[in-house]
Amino acid sequence: MARIFCVANQKGGVGKTTTCVNLAAALQARRQRVLLVDLDPQGNATMGSGIDKRDLTRTVYQVLVGIADFAACRMRSPNGGYDLLPANRELAGAEVEMVSLERREHRLRDALAGVIDEYDFVLVDCPPSLSMLTLNGLCASHGVIIPMQCEYYALEGLSDLVNTIKKVHANLNAELKIIGLLRVMFDARITLQQQVSAQLESHFGAKVFEAVVPRNVRLAEAPSHGMPGVVFDPSAKGAKAYVAFAKEMIQRVKAL
């Protein structure tokens, strides 16, 4: 049975999508069966997986509002090798439409229930908000992966996210836990980043992943080629960090 992880942080531009796409491809390369769910109307994980969001008529939107089956919307990332439940701007409508539907927080969980045996990992790329979509991601998951930049304001935002996770754990999904914090876009030359990184380690201990993803332009270039960074340039430092992260995830899952 798959372990389901959502990659969440209500801030935009912190590396959620980059983490999802690269972790999915790196896990797939280690012979894990992977599904990536794009839960952001921006559709960046879809594009980064090599699928043009503008061409799609069936996406995660149809699955969430109950007008299409998962199987009819699932695709395969041509370069990543993993399965993808894609998204595009149509998904923005789901936010409002789901409010009046039954089991509105559990729509994704219910949709995944039938396919969970087909995968080892399901990764959910959340939008940059603590919205109904993110709530669906949290309710469907066994755990949360939190990518973060080591900046002062990152810590402030973290407490809001941790509180939301606690509430979801208490009220909607007792299985949910924080799997770990992933330091991304890290620049060891910047003293503040080192300080925040040390603070994270002392406060969250083993919840901080050992893998650290450096700031690396090859990771940023990869999406324009419709490829995960780990496929686009496996020799780049950023790609190597995501491969190390994938290995760490496989180990953590064994311990769950």
- The 10 Å CB-count burial string (b at 16+, else e) for 178-188 is bbbbbbbbbee
Report the residue from 22, 32, 44, 136 that binds Mg ion according to the rule CB under 5 A: 44
Instruction: Tell me whether residue 21 or residue 112 sits nearer to ligand ADP (CB atom).
Output: 21
Report the residue from 74, 107, 183, 215 that binds ligand ADP according to the rule CB under 6 A: 215
Q: Does 16 bind Mg ion (CB under 5 A)?
A: yes
Structure tokens at 150: 């080591």
Chain residues 120-139 in contact with ligand ADP, contact rule CB under 6 A: 128
Of the candidates 209, 72, 85, 66, the residue with the CA atom closest to the CA atom of residue 137: 85
Indicate which of Mg ion, ligand ADP, none lies near residue 87 (CB less than 5 to 8 Å, by partner kind): none
Helix H or strand E encompassing 125: strand 121-125
Hey, is 31 helix, strand or coil? Answer: coil
Tell me the window of 10-18, 60-68, 101-109, 150-158 that interacts with ligand ADP (CB under 6 A). Answer: 10-18
Pairing of strands 34-38, 75-76: unpaired
Instruction: Tell me whether residue 41 or residue 143 sits nearer to Mg ion (CB atom).
Output: 41
Of the candidates 168, 119, 104, 103, the residue with the CA atom closest to the CA atom of residue 141: 168
Q: State in angstroms the smallest separation of the CB of 171 from ligand ADP.
A: 26
Residue ranges binding ligand ADP (CB under 6 A): 12-18, 44, 128, 184-185, 213, 215-216, 219-220, 223, 238
Residue ranges binding Mg ion (CB under 5 A): 16-17, 44
